[in-house]
Amino acid sequence: MGGLFCYITDRIQTMNENETLSETDSKELSTCDLYLAAFFMSAGCKLVSSFRNKRNGRVYFAFERNPIIHELQMNYHSREAKVPAATYADNIKGLKSLCHTISTTGE
């Protein structure tokens, strides 16, 4: 597979090996957008936690922050990003299941 997916995967691997976050940087990026979260997972970002916001009832997915996560988000919203379709579909199903688990266990 070529194109943007390989470029993104290579950049994440390089970042994880060579770069660290400073103490002042937030270590996580959270989103309540299930499809964006599935995209982040498909692009190789690490899901570190999920939680339900008690005020608005939404489930949020927290990802380990990396230097290109905002670039990934911009590519996703501009419809320029590419990831394997089957992986993306599997991640959507998994996150939907996780949302159901959070809502039934009261976490």
Task: Tell me the residue range of the domain where 32 lies.
Answer: 4-15+26-105
Q: Decide if 73 is inside a domain.
A: yes
Q: Decide if 59 is inside a domain.
A: yes
pLDDT per position as a tens digit, 26-52:
788 899 999 999 999 999 999 999 999
Q: How many domains does the chain have?
A: 1
Within 13 Å, how many C-alpha atoms sit on residue 37's CB side? 24
pLDDT per position as a tens digit, 49-89:
999 988 888 999 999 988 889 899 999 999 999 999 999 99
Residue 5: what pLDDT? 47
Percentage of the residues of the chain whose pLDDT score is greater than 90:
55
Q: Of 82, 77, 78, 68, whose CA–CA distance to 4 is shortest?
A: 82
